[in-house]
Amino acid sequence: MTTISTTNPWFTCPLPNPQAPLRLFCLPYAGGSALNFRSWVNQLPTTIEVCPIELPGRGLRLQEPAFDQLQPLVQAIGEALLPTLDRPFILFGHSMGGLICFEFARWLRRQGARSPIHLLISGRRAPQIAATMPLRYNLPEPEFLAALHRLNGTPQAILEHPELMKLLLPTLRADFSVVETSVYTPEPPLDCPITVFGGWDDPETSLVGLQAWRVQTQQSFRLELLPGDHFFLHSAQSQLLTLIRQILSPTLKAL
């Protein structure tokens, strides 16, 4: 089995586990990084190798320009991940990461490559549902910062740190552009189960938008709602990981 390379900038596996029968690739929200998933390795079974993806423009790749368009980003992720898809794998993505996971699964199908055995989509409406919010990626800086504040995902101490925000703003704008300029192209439903997680008080997603993922799979569909706003990924992390363990338990027994 392929071992995740510690020199590959796309991966930051906190605890490499090449003997694990299942890999879980995790993709972050806009402005997020692989660090968001670092603690997951301690809360999931050792039969799962947790592999957070580090996108350009953050973490150890802060000096690299972030992608601002979805399809080139998906292509780059695909080229980086293909050598590691030698065993069953699952994709998890929150918000922007959820959209990337979905398009990456479709990219793999077009390549005739191995497909994920499950998609875990968190805090993201189905791609065929049109956005109801105005574009934010190109707002003047004060309005853009206000939008970040309303989302409640960037600590206030960082928002009020001019030098740090100067470093982070280009990546944040690029990430918002990835999401807000993406155009959905209809394709047949995926041949893997999809589980969707949502926050009860998330202003970014509606119940209708979450339920609409059902048409994107020929297999089973499951929707789970957790307490919290758009960043329930953090505030309800324990409940989220408990659900993920339950969802993946039958898969692990079958491997």
Catalytic residues: 95
Q: Enter the tokens of residue 238.
A: 């324990």
Nearest alpha-carbon partner for 123 in 100, 156, 146: 100
Distance CA 149, CA 147 (A): 5
Phi, psi of 101 (to 5 degrees): -60, -45
Phi, psi of 174 (to 5 degrees): -60, -45
237's CB contacts (< 8 A; 6+ apart) are 39
Nearest alpha-carbon partner for 126 in 174, 29, 196: 196
Distance CA 66, CA 169 (A): 11
Question: What secondary structure, in 3-state letters, does 144-210 show?
Answer: HHHHHHHHCCCCHHHHCCHHHHHHHHHHHHHHHHHHHCCCCCCCCCECCCEEEEEECCCCCCCHHHH
Question: What secondary structure, in 3-state letters, does 49-73 show?
Answer: EEEEECCCCCHHHCCCCCCCCHHHH
AA identity, residue 70: L
Q: Which secondary structure element, helix H or strand E, spans residue 93, and what is its range?
A: strand 89-94
